[in-house]
Amino acid sequence: MDFEHPILSKEYRLMTPTLMAVVQNACFKVMMRKTGIVFTGEPRIGKTRCCEALMDEIPKRFRHVYAFMMPASNKDKDVHRASIIHQLIDLEEIKLPPRTPFIQRQAILVERLKLRAASANANQIVMLIDELQRLSSADFQQLADIYNKLRGYRITLTVISFAMPSIEGKIIEFLQSDDRHIIGRFLSEVKPLYGVTNKMSLATILSLYDTDQPFPDISSDSFTKDVLPIAYANGFRLEDLSDDIWREMSKLAVGKYVGNLPMEHVTQTVAYLFLILSHQDNARLTVPADLIHEAIAESNFKEFCRSITTGDK
Amino acid sequence: MNWYYPAGGPLPYESMLSVLIKFSHANFVEFPKLSKIANNLNLNLNSRFINNWYRLKKATELELLVPEFNNHLPFDFAPPEGLRKLTQEFAFCPDCIKFGYHSVFNIIKTHDFCVLHKCRLSVACSACTEIYFYGFRFLEPIPRLLTHCDKCGFEDIGLFKEINMRRNRNLIKALRSAGEQQAAWYSKIQYFDQVRAPYYSDYYSSAISRKKLTGPFERASGIRSPERCANLLDDNQQILWVFHSGFNADRDSFDNSVIRSHSLESSLELIEYRYLSKHRECLKRANELTGFPNGCFRQVKLCSVALAYILLRIKIAYRDWPVAGSVCALDSGFEWAGSVISPFGRGNHHRELNILFLSILGRLQFQVYQQANFLILIRPTREFSADNHFPVYIRKSSYAFRNVCTSANASLEVYRHESGGPIFVNFPKSNIEPHCLPRAQMIV
């Protein structure tokens, strides 16, 4: 198996039921010109992948919408200071003198967003924010200002965000400080995201590796057929391993990951299996239980669950 | 560094100034900083700036952003002296500027019309030059409060209007098509720098010269001029490009007068015989005009052939006419002709004088058909000088014009302007007072 293979380089996207549900849901919000929706989920369940998928899908489905993605961060040590304007200006690669006043920065950003929207013949901008929980309260205030300014130019801003469940703490904070307009605009709709919740879901996900044309735009064989052509021709399917993988991973899952397997570790397990099995491709290929156990161990799932849940290293 | 510019880059044949202003606004970069990007150029909008554009070619970052880089610079279309100084005269099409477009051809000094909208260009007022031509400035509010000048009609060159316009594919095609036509014309004209040098420099010197030369250049190049594309050219005279041998010291010297077998007298007699046999009376009247006897005012009806012939004679005899003190010119007869050294040398050839005569006649028609009063001045011109080695053009006069004196409704009057002044061709129906000098001049 080639080192550059998409399975190892992770340059592929599985249209899992969760991802498709997110795309459907988010696109509906865009169509209805909603102001915001937040998807929350535990680490490594695939939030960023969903965000990237939306970044691809929204322009395809809505030709007259300008969409862009921003991985949020808080550069300042002071968590109460706002930096979203700076982040967005950095994202646009606008170089401004260090002492440019804030109001001017904001005007410049709005001007650029207007230009972007005009280029796309759009009167709606979709801002995809990953790691929303990293924004400070002041960032949300500035986001509301941008929303209002764009509204003045008849441009609707829809903020679709992905965050850790801790974002709910931020909502409580806004409620306490009576900043309900922030909640109303961006945080009124919070939808939880889950990883692989049951055996059937896992079977569906694994079957995607067996399905032809894994990349929608490129005609190609399925991953299983590509990596294990002889075994595939003789009826080997990755989907058939779903029972074993589910059982083994469920044994190790603890805390929030019980019945909520992270996609990151599922895909790593599959990658390991493909890597090992690619050297043993034959007509009677079987996957021993200890290989599955080994693949899950290689994905570091057990340690991950422990450290996430208890903080142990 | 990723600079922002709308997909597709600048519009076809958009001026580099327009591109830089938009670039500056889109990226919030002031001109001084932009000049660092653009290879440390001095991006001031003075004449030096225009010359500095030569060096823009080396500004690779801009070159990457601007495909067909040279199409946005005026140097392939006009010599540097033929370009406008933008701070003094920023010409723009009032319709193009509405969608944020400024053509590279508008920078050419004598180009004063828009081929696309078939209209004359406007010139931005000094206030607009100050406000809008320096790109983005941090001191100004964002977005700008005023984008339209009520005084001159100029509108801020911005990307928003242009982006909206980009959706209209037909308009982009029209811009490209019009731009290519004009580029082909000006590129071809550049070639005349070598073969028709006196005309080439004249073409870019003034709008009047350009108007006179557009028809001949069309004939020489075989390309429709931008004026004709814009339906702004009413010059339909036939034109002929000819060579005349000019003065050659070896050939035309006293020792070797064999080749030039005709004397000045015989050449002029031949012209009289050929063209003036039916206009003897006209010639007689016209002679009185140039003679200006006793300071009396004389006015005659225009006879094109007679007037052209008289102008030919005066041109042969005088270097400049009229000048201060030159009250009268020759009146009649050619007894004097033996002592005159003509522009073509001492021994004259029929053909050269014939070309000069026909050229004067054709130009007279061109000037008359402009429907405006004009003065006629005799001045030295390179094209009919003895050392001219370039081709010259002749405008063919029409039969009707050559016989304008016989026309029943002929109304053009010819007289001397003031005492001892130049010949003045007057349209009686025009509103210009006779004592006012008309703006149009015909230089022979």
Tens digits of residue pLDDT in B283-310 = 888 777 776 555 667 777 888 898 898 8
Question: Phi-psi bin for B153: left (phi > 0), alpha (psi -120 to 50), beta?
Answer: left
DSSP assignment, residue B57? G
Query: pLDDT tier at B59 (50, 70, 90 boundaries)?
Result: low
Closest CA to A248 of A297, A196, A309: A297
Same domain flag for A228 and A276: yes
Same domain flag for A40 and A148: yes
Residue A2 lies in a domain: no
Among residues A192, A220, A237, which one ends one of the domains? A192
Number of folded domains in chain A? 2
Largest distance between two CA atoms of chain B: 82
Provide the sign of the torsion angle of the four alpha carbons B250, B252, B256, B262, taken in this order: positive
Same domain flag for A185 and A38: yes
pLDDT at position B118 is: 92
Is residue A224 within 8 A of residue A211, CB to CB? The reply is no
Which residues are CB-neighbours of B374 under 8 A, at least 6 positions away? B367, B424, B425, B438, B440, B441, B442
Query: pLDDT tier at A211 (50, 70, 90 boundaries)?
Result: confident
Cα-based distances in Å from A246 to A286, A299, B255: 17, 14, 117
Q: What are phi and psi of A255, to 5 degrees?
A: 60, -130
Cα distance between residue B190 and residue B77, in whole Å? 7
Query: pLDDT tier at A285 (50, 70, 90 boundaries)?
Result: very high
Cα distance between residue B237 and residue B214, in whole Å? 11
Amino acid at B2: N
DSSP assignment, residue A185? I
Among residues A161, A192, A223, which one ends one of the domains? A192
**Is residue A55 scored above 60 in pLDDT?**
yes
Cα-based distances in Å from B391 to B192, B244, B346, B382, B383: 11, 7, 21, 11, 8
Residue A5 lies in a domain: no
Query: Rounded mean pLDDT of A48-70?
Result: 94
**Structure tokens belonging to residue B168:** 């209209």
Residue A180 lies in a domain: yes
Strand partners, A158: A126
Amino acid at B132: Y
**CA B343: distance to chain centroid?**
25
Cα-based distances in Å from B264 to A243, A303, B256, B337: 117, 114, 16, 7
Half-sphere exposure at residue A220, Cβ-oriented, CA atoms within 13 angstroms:
13
Q: Helix (H, G, I), strand (E, B), or coil: what is residue A196?
A: strand
Compute, in degrees rounded to 10, the torsion defined by CA atoms B149, B154, B158, B163.
120
pLDDT at position A214 is: 66
**Is residue B255 scored above 50 in pLDDT?**
no
- CB A114 to CB B160 under 8 A? yes
Q: If you compute the radius of gyration of chain A from its CA atoms, what whole number of angstroms results?
A: 22
Among residues A192, A215, A236, which one ends one of the domains? A192
**Is residue B361 scored above 50 in pLDDT?**
yes
Residue A102 lies in a domain: yes
Minimum distance, in Å, between the CA of residue B196 and any CA atom of chain A: 47
pLDDT at position B405 is: 82
**CA A164: distance to chain centroid?**
11
B374-377 vs B413-416, strand pairing mode: unpaired
**Is residue B186 scored above 70 in pLDDT?**
yes
Closest residue on chain A to B163 (Cα): A119
Same domain flag for A115 and A141: yes
Same domain flag for A205 and A180: no
**Is residue B256 scored above 50 in pLDDT?**
no
Cα distance between residue B433 and residue B265, in whole Å? 40
pLDDT at position A240 is: 94
Cα distance between residue B124 and residue B132, in whole Å? 10
Q: Which of A70-84, B53-67, B181-195, B374-388 has the lowest mean pLDDT?
A: B53-67
Of the candidates B1, B2, B142, the beta carbon closest to that of A104 is on B142
- Convert the pLDDT of each residue in A265-278 to its tens digit: 999 999 999 999 99
pTM of the model: 0.81
Question: Hunting for tokens 């004259």 — which residue is that?
Answer: B348
Cα distance between residue B127 and residue B135, in whole Å? 14
- CB B138 to CB A95 under 8 A? no
- CB B164 to CB A96 under 8 A? no
Which residues are CB-neighbours of B436 under 8 A, at least 6 positions away? none
**Structure tokens belonging to residue B302:** 């225009």
> Residues of B with CB below 8 A from A111's CB?
28, 142-143
A36-40 vs A66-71, strand pairing mode: unpaired
Query: Rounded mean pLDDT of A63-71?
Result: 94
**Is residue B8 scored above 50 in pLDDT?**
yes
Quote the crossing angle between the two packed helices B350-368 and B264-275, to the nearest 10°: 50
Compute, in degrees rounded to 10, the torsion defined by CA atoms A178, A183, A185, A186.
140
Minimum distance, in Å, between the CA of residue B173 and any CA atom of chain A: 19
Please tell me if residue B191 touches chain A, with a CB cutoff of 8 Å. Answer: no
**Which structural domain, as residue segments, surrounds residue A203?**
196-306
Cα distance between residue A171 and residue A182, in whole Å? 9
Interface test with B, best of A111, A149, A153 (most B CBs within 10 A): A111
Q: What are phi and psi of B148, to 5 degrees?
A: -135, 135
Cα distance between residue A290 and residue A306, in whole Å? 22
Q: What are phi and psi of B312, to 5 degrees?
A: -60, -45
Of the candidates B28, B159, B163, the beta carbon closest to that of A96 is on B28
pLDDT at position A251 is: 92
pLDDT at position A179 is: 87
Cα-based distances in Å from B262 to A97, B146, B270, B345: 81, 72, 10, 12
Mean pLDDT (chain A, rounded) = 90
pLDDT at position B90 is: 87
Specify the CATH number for the domain of residue A35: 3.40.50.300
Share of chain A above pLDDT 70, in %: 95
Task: Select the more confidently predicted residue: A106 or B1.
Answer: A106
pLDDT at position A268 is: 95
**Is residue A228 scored above 80 in pLDDT?**
yes
Compute the 3-state secondary structure of chain A and give helix, strand, coil in percent, each to the nearest 5.
55, 10, 35
- CB A96 to CB B142 under 8 A? no
Same domain flag for A62 and A108: yes
Does B143 sit behind a cis peptide bond, omega within 30 degrees of 0 on the bond before it? Answer: yes
**Structure tokens belonging to residue B292:** 């200006």
Query: pLDDT tier at B332 (50, 70, 90 boundaries)?
Result: very low
Closest CA to B313 of B340, B349, B289: B340
Query: pLDDT tier at B201 (50, 70, 90 boundaries)?
Result: confident
Please count the residue pairs, one from chain A and one from chain B, whose beta carbons lie less than 8 angstroms apart.
Answer: 39
Cα distance between residue A211 and residue A253, in whole Å? 28
- H or E element at residue B392: strand B392-395
Q: Which of A119-123, B31-35, B404-408 has the lowest mean pLDDT?
A: B31-35
Cα distance between residue A106 and residue A108, in whole Å? 5
pLDDT at position A270 is: 95
Closest CA to B276 of B249, B312, B248: B312
Same domain flag for A262 and A135: no
Amino acid at A43: P
Cβ neighbours around B334 below 10 Å, total: 16
Same domain flag for A112 and A249: no
Same domain flag for A176 and A228: no
Residue A147 lies in a domain: yes
First and final C-alpha spacing in chain A: 33
Predicted interface score ipTM higher than 0.90: no
Question: Hunting for tokens 């005269």 — which residue is that?
Answer: B89
Residues 87 through 146 of chain A touching chain B, CB cutoff 8 Å: 92-97, 100, 104, 107-108, 111-112, 114-115, 118-119, 121
- CB B138 to CB A92 under 8 A? no
Please tell me if residue B163 touches chain A, with a CB cutoff of 8 Å. Answer: yes
Strand partners, B441: B375
**CA A54: distance to chain centroid?**
9
pLDDT at position B137 is: 84
Query: pLDDT tier at B44 (50, 70, 90 boundaries)?
Result: low
- CB B4 to CB A100 under 8 A? no
Cα distance between residue A8 and residue B258, in whole Å? 97
- CB A115 to CB B26 under 8 A? yes
Same domain flag for A183 and A290: no
Minimum distance, in Å, between the CA of residue B160 and any CA atom of chain A: 7
Same domain flag for A56 and A157: yes
Residue A313 lies in a domain: no
Query: pLDDT tier at B257 (50, 70, 90 boundaries)?
Result: very low
**Is residue A199 scored above 90 in pLDDT?**
yes
Residue A144 lies in a domain: yes
**Is residue A234 scored above 70 in pLDDT?**
yes
Does A97 sit behind a cis peptide bond, omega within 30 degrees of 0 on the bond before it? Answer: no
Same domain flag for A238 and A300: yes
Half-sphere exposure at residue A184, Cβ-oriented, CA atoms within 13 angstroms:
6
pLDDT at position B60 is: 59
DSSP assignment, residue B345? B
DSSP assignment, residue B10? S
Cα distance between residue B194 and residue B197, in whole Å? 6
